[in-house]
Chain A
Amino acid sequence: MNITFIKSNEKKRILEKLRETYGIEKLPYLLISSGKDKVRGFSGSLSKEEILKLNQVLRIETLGTYLLKKEKDGLRLSFDVPTILDIKKNIIEVSDEQTQDWLKGKNIEINQNVRNAGMDCISEHPKIPKNKQEFFDLKGFVVLKNKENFVGCGKASDKRITNFVPKERRIRS
């Protein structure tokens, strides 16, 4: 594995963006660049030097957990991050039915959902109106929540929330 540790100033920038977008306050990991703009987090006790030494002799497949992908318009969280880090912003509540569809890999069409009044924007993002009926003004990366369960990250536009549930995690119908 090509291991490149993310430097502390870059980590600060990432945490700042995470705070701004999702209200995440802590990132208790050693951050590693992985593949195309992907970032993994390692919470283990080995130092950078020890990891690099291991990597010289071993075929390391992965290290830590996949956290996020850096995209042009923000940070896209991995499916699991909302279940392991404390998310406070840009959360959209979805119904049981919407959750089932979402976990099957379907996008959430906003107009239809507005009509059904099935969604409840509880975002604290300053740009986002708190009025439930106006949640469709929400743009960019959001985290979906069904009851107490965070069910992944999506990207909201005028018309839909684009589904980022990884294929291997989807419910097959």
Chain B
Amino acid sequence: MLTPKPLFIERMQKLIPDKLDFEKFMEFSQKRTPTSIRCNTLKISPDKLKQKLEDKGWKIKQLFSDYPEVMIIENSLNPGELGKSIEHILGYYYVQEISSMMPIIALNPKENEIILDLAAAPGSKTTQASAFMKNTGTIIANDKTLDRTNILCANLERCGCSNVIVTRHDGIQLCRKLAKIGMKFDKILLDLPCSGEGNTRSNPKTYLMWNIRMIKSLSKLQKRLVFYAIPLLKEDGELIYSTCTHSPEENEGVVDFLLKNFDLEIQEIKLPLKTRSGITSWEKENFNSEIKKSCRIYPQDSNTEGFFLCKMRRK
């Protein structure tokens, strides 16, 4: 079994100072996450999908009454069964971890809005946004490499998303080009590449790759990306900054950087999961106290992966 490096543990202990709480964090970090799917409402209603899956003998639980599309499969499945089912092939559902559904729930894309998804592949959040928007409005979904945009395109086809324009650019280059032609967005999703500390339950290899240099370098990249993305937001436009990591350098540190450089206001988010407030200091750095309104999701709180998200509005 892969185990975290001592520095990772030390940092997490600082973030979760309560001993019992930290033990629970470690315990949950080694358990597999529940199998979760999101019904693709562009193709089928949650009730119909649930019925179809139950007819196959799957035990389905809908976790949130406000979001019936979010489902857990409670029985164990054979290897590959989730991806080989006819319902998956036909695009009736997307296999997506519950915490990763939260950025779009928080962003709440509406019909006819113009949305930018800067680092979109493999497309879980883009397809979710498209479903929220009922295939209206427009989503510009970008990723950097051909391999990644190919996966994104395949998922968009499978899910029947017809309101999406897929572009392939480095994020900063894309933002510059969009700024040049005066393109503005109602909402922006900045779910950026990160060190993945929150993903260790499904991808324990993260422990092997983890190192502090990577965190510092990702934090720099994230700051550069958000710096170029924010000017594309309309006045009163909203954005979500999110990562699947716990490290404050990649989370509160980036949000603090944004607040220092742009006229943004952090908004409270109501999510159907237990969340904890963002932190306001880390190592020698103090962050804007408003950052408390951002959300940390820990595995032990709702049996999910770890996540961070912050919603902001451009004043």
B74-94: which residues lie under 8 A (CB-CB) from chain A? 84, 86-87, 89-91
**At the interface, yes or no: A169 with Cβ under 8 Å from chain B?**
yes
A43-68: which residues lie under 8 A (CB-CB) from chain B? 43-46, 51, 53-54, 56-66
Q: Across the interface, which residues of B come within 8 angstroms of A84, CB to CB?
A: 42-43, 160, 162
Given contacts A53-B181, A59-B168, A59-B169, contact A99 B157 (CB under 8 A): no
A8-66: which residues lie under 8 A (CB-CB) from chain B? 29, 41-46, 51, 53-54, 56-66
Q: Across the interface, which residues of A come within 8 angstroms of B39, CB to CB?
A: none
Q: Across the interface, which residues of A come within 8 angstroms of B165, CB to CB?
A: 42, 44, 46, 51, 54, 60, 62-64
Q: Across the interface, which residues of B come within 8 angstroms of A172, CB to CB?
A: 84
Contact A44 B169 (CB under 8 A): no
**At the interface, yes or no: B30 with Cβ under 8 Å from chain A?**
no
- Name, among B136, B156, B165, B169, the residue most crowded by chain A CB atoms within 10 Å (CB to CB): B165
- What is the CB-to-nearest-CB distance from A96 to chain B, in angstroms, rounded to a whole number? 9
Per DSSP, chain B at the interface is: mixed
Tally B residues with Cβ within 8 Å of A. Answer: 39
B41-96: which residues lie under 8 A (CB-CB) from chain A? 42-43, 52, 84, 86-87, 89-91
Closest B-chain residue to A172, C-beta based?
Answer: B84
Q: Across the interface, which residues of B come within 8 angstroms of A148, CB to CB?
A: 52
0/1 per residue, B182-199, Cβ < 8 Å to A?
010000000000000000
**At the interface, yes or no: A83 with Cβ under 8 Å from chain B?**
yes
Contact B90 A151 (CB under 8 A): yes
A66 to B167, CA, bound (A): 16
**At the interface, yes or no: B12 with Cβ under 8 Å from chain A?**
no
**At the interface, yes or no: B264 with Cβ under 8 Å from chain A?**
no
**At the interface, yes or no: A80 with Cβ under 8 Å from chain B?**
yes
Closest B-chain residue to A58, C-beta based?
Answer: B167
Contact B158 A80 (CB under 8 A): yes
A65 to B158, CA, bound (A): 9
Q: Across the interface, which residues of A come within 8 angstroms of B154, CB to CB?
A: 168
The 9 closest A-B pairs by CB, nearest first: A44-B138, A44-B163, A43-B162, A65-B162, A61-B166, A84-B160, A57-B177, A64-B162, A43-B135
Q: A45-B163, A46-B138, A58-B167 are in contact. List 19 more A-B contacts (CB 8 A).
A: A42-B165, A43-B162, A44-B137, A44-B163, A45-B114, A46-B165, A61-B153, A61-B166, A61-B168, A65-B156, A65-B157, A65-B162, A80-B91, A83-B90, A84-B43, A149-B86, A149-B90, A151-B86, A169-B89
| Complex A-B: 12 CB contacts under 8 Å | A43-B163, A45-B136, A51-B165, A53-B181, A57-B177, A57-B178, A61-B149, A61-B168, A64-B165, A66-B157, A78-B157, A150-B90
